Structure 1
Amino acid sequence: MNDSLNLLGRILIALLFLGGAAQKLGDPVPVSAMIASIGLPVWLVWPVAAFNLIAGLGLIFGPGVRVWALVLAGYCVFTSYFHWQLRADPWQVTIMVKNWSIAGGLLILASTGPGRFVWWGRG
């Protein structure tokens, strides 16, 4: 049962990143505007979308689920800085706190590993 819950948890966390990739690829304008508002080049939306897609799939299927969990935890903490820059909007602060919470779950996953259910490679 623990391995099944682990897989379900990985899928649920990965949905956040896969959804982020779909959102950025489907309608890049809002994210591009946010990126531009903090002084970064808008073309960053494309590598970030690709990263979200690849990392989300890596979290579900492997290989290297532990590594993906660590990388994504760092990504969540790193991107929190950008939401903090927009802190006049209370929703952005909520997103920042959510990112830190997700990073905590990812760090737990990195420490425990993916369990038995990894499609490719090892956890």
Structure 2
Amino acid sequence: MTTFNGLIVLLARVLLSAIFIWSGWGKVADIGGTAAYIASSGLPTILAWPSAFFELIVGLFVLIGFQTKWAALALAFFSFVTAFLFHTGFADPMQQINFFKNLAMTGGFLMLYAYPHNHYSIEAVWTEED
């Protein structure tokens, strides 16, 4: 991988992970609001804490390049499922945007799953041979 491509993949990881780190932190900070939003979709509120920590921790994994392939696959699945669970109210234009945003993120994470290796990651540092 060229240095330029490595930097592009690093930028992609930063941009893809940012929304999950930010959202996960926001869910932790307002777990009551998170639980209410989850309940409004007919799901159990017990999912509030796991979803908050999942987004935060797995988002951080993608950011630093730790277990990138599996973190990307997990976030692809999460993005796809949440598009259909939370954003199908197409009468609201914002829900349409959020639905397709989630599908776009799914595509980005699937690409990262297919090409997870990068010079600029924790994995690269740990696997360097002297």
What TM-score comes out, normalization by structure 1 length? Answer: 0.88
In structure 2, C-alpha distance between the alignment counterparts of 1:92 and 1:31, rounded to whole Å: 17
State the AA in 2 paired with 1:103.
T
**Alignment partner of 1:39 out of 39, 42, 64:** 42
Q: Secondary structure at the match of 2:87?
A: helix
1:36-86 deviation per Cα after TM superposition (whole angstroms, max 9, x unaligned) = 112111121110010011101111223320111111111100111122344
User: Of 105, 109, 112, which aligns to 1:106?
Assistant: 109
Aligned residue for 1:114, secondary structure, equals coil
Cα distance in 1 for partners of 2:67, 2:104 equals 22
Q: List aligned pairs for 1:1-123, cutoff 5 A.
A: 1-120=4-123, 121=126
Distance 2:117 2:36 in 1: 36
Unpaired segments of 5 or more residues in structure 2? none
Larger Rg: 2
Partner Cα distance (2:69, 2:83) in 1: 21
Give the aligned length: 122
Identity of aligned residues (%): 33
Q: Quick check: 1:73–1:107 contact (8 Å CA) kept in 2?
A: yes
Give the structure-2-normalised TM-score: 0.84
1 CA distance for matches of 2:65 and 2:115? 15
Contact 2:88 2:96 in 1 (8 A): no
Q: What's the Cα RMSD here?
A: 1.7
3-state SS of 2:119 partner:
coil
Identify unmatched segments of 5+ residues in structure 1.
Answer: none
Whether the aligned pair in 1 keeps the contact of 2:21 and 2:55 (CA below 8 Å) is yes
